[in-house]
Structure 1
């Protein structure tokens, strides 16, 4: 009863339960959903997600696939907490073996649904898929994903588009990044005003995480799984 209601991370339990069921179905379809902490404050993993072993994600409290970086992140979060402050970061999500053809070309684009799902999570402030904002640095000749035939199968030579083109999955890995802000509730005095507009000081009580990233990882996975399963079922219904 002392929680923050819809603003509390407690509400994500329902998402995780539903997401777990969705992941069970996707697993039977051969589709894998992986999320991990890729950045905390200024500490960020470098390079492509393919260089990391996803089996390492659950082997540390930060849920980072790089053991050395995970230790640095954990120590940094501890330092921030000792100062009564909070810090944000980024969760990266990868969905593998998604069949081509999921999504709609206009109002129900697959990436729009994923973005909507991620932005509905508490503390999320940003979403980008594929190359995202980095793509503005390139020309079309560098950015376009060229298709070719390999072993009798049509595949993309690169995956700058993050597995989604024209709002529809193209059969490549879907990958995206979700930005989480620092928790607003600090364990130190915060200047504010009361309901009458008079200056006052807010002193938070209770337990508050200095960083939501580790707890946010399964929530991102859950939301991604539900969106992908929704669109898979829609694609099957269109075939009937």
Structure 2
């Protein structure tokens, strides 16, 4: 899990900084933490991550929050998802218009990746680690 206490409750929320970092990646169009959009259909009594004592530590019995509550990491595993759009450059002619608005055909040539996924995974992991390192350094500067 991510160390508890990273992030701030208002302006420097950990989940907000993760969203900003990942949505800054080319082709990334969606981001969610924990239960994400599915959590919007749950009741608060179902979604709350109840704190319990387990193995001598305080943990949560579920992780619907994805390891972040109120903008601050809670020590549980960080669970997030990023969604990427399909690549725009396909090797099939596409109808479009030119700068004057006249119909034309766009026919790209050359080698283009058919899917961003193989490259996206290590890039997403690196961005998440950069955000976590930034928050760890901020916490260290604040607390000493």
Q: Distance in 2 between matches of 1:151 and 1:180?
A: 38
Q: Deviations over 1:67-112 (max 9, x none)?
A: xxxxxxxxxxxxxxxxxxxxxxxxxxxxxx3110000000110000
Aligned to 1:99: 3
The one-character-per-residue Cα deviations of 1:214-239 (angstroms, maximum 9, x if unpaired) are 11111001100100000011111111
Inter-partner Cα distance in structure 1 for 2:110 and 2:119? 18
| 1:29-48 paired onto structure 2 within 5 Å | none
1:222 corresponding residue in structure 2: 126
Tell me the distance in 2 between the aligned counterparts of 1:236 and 1:215. 32
Aligned counterpart, 2:19: 115
Superposed counterparts of 1:179-198, under 5 Å: 179-198=83-102
Distance in 1 (alpha carbons) for counterparts of 2:25 and 2:31: 11
Answering whether residue 48 of structure 2 is matched by residue 139 of structure 1, we say: no
Q: Distance in 2 between matches of 1:148 and 1:122?
A: 40
CA distance in 2, matches of 1:166, 1:177: 18
1:174 aligns with 2:78: yes
1:82-97 mapped onto 2 (5 Å cutoff): 97=1
Structure having the larger proportion of residues in helix: 1
Alignment of 1:39-78 (within 5 A): none
Whole-angstrom distance in 2 between the partners of 1:214 and 1:134 = 26
Counterpart for residue 32 of structure 2: 128
Report the Cα offset of residue 194 of structure 1: 0.8
For 1:190 and 1:126, how far apart are their aligned partners in 2?
26
Residues of 2 paired with 1:132 and 1:177: CA distance?
8
**Separation (CA, whole Å) in 2 of partners of 1:218 and 1:174:** 16
TM-superposed deviation, 1:136: 1.6
Q: Secondary structure at the match of 2:79?
A: strand
Q: Which residue does the alignment assign to 1:159?
A: 63
Q: Distance in 2 between matches of 1:151 and 1:217?
A: 33
- Structure 1 residue 205 displacement after superposition: 1.6
Q: How many equivalent residue pairs?
A: 144
Q: Aligned-residue CA RMSD in angstroms?
A: 0.8
